[in-house]
């Protein structure tokens, strides 16, 4: 049984969406963990923990906007699909 190009593209889109969701989950989890640990287990207090968690979240968002959101599964040329330049 062969896999068609449409099925490969659908799989790549699904996998890319899943990996993006996992990355965003990790950013939110790290932010929440930083907030709770900073607030409850260190002398930072609530305000210090919120500021530290905001920094963690900002770094995560920056990383997602500067390359972390890219994955090779999103590249159409690897699937044999026409790119914008070929159409």
pTM: 0.75
Q: Name which of 7, 3, 14, 27 is nearest 73 in CA terms.
A: 14
What is the structure's pLDDT at 62?
A: 94
What is the structure's pLDDT at 79?
A: 54
φ, ψ for residue 44 (rounded to 5)?
-65, -35
DSSP-assigned letters across all residues of 55-76: HHHHHHHHHIIIIIT--GGG-G
Residue 52 in 3-state DSSP? helix
What is the structure's pLDDT at 76?
A: 55
What is the structure's pLDDT at 27?
A: 97
Both structure tokens of 47: 């305000």
Where are the chain's structural domains? 24-71
Both structure tokens of 20: 């993006």
Instruction: Provide block-wise average pLDDT over 10 residues at a time, the chain (87 residues).
Output: 85 90 96 97 95 97 86 57 49
H or E element, residue 35 = helix 5-40
């Amino acid at each position: 049984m062969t896999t068609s190009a449409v099925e490969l593209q659908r799989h790549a889109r699904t996998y890319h969406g899943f990996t993006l969701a996992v990355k965003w989950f990790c950013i939110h989890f790290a932010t929440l963990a930083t907030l709770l640990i900073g607030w409850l287990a260190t002398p930072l207090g609530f305000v210090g923990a919120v500021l530290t968690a905001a920094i963690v979240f900002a770094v995560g968002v920056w990383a997602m906007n500067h390359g972390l959101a890219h994955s090779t599964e999103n590249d159409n040329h690897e699937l044999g699909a026409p790119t914008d330049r070929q159409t």
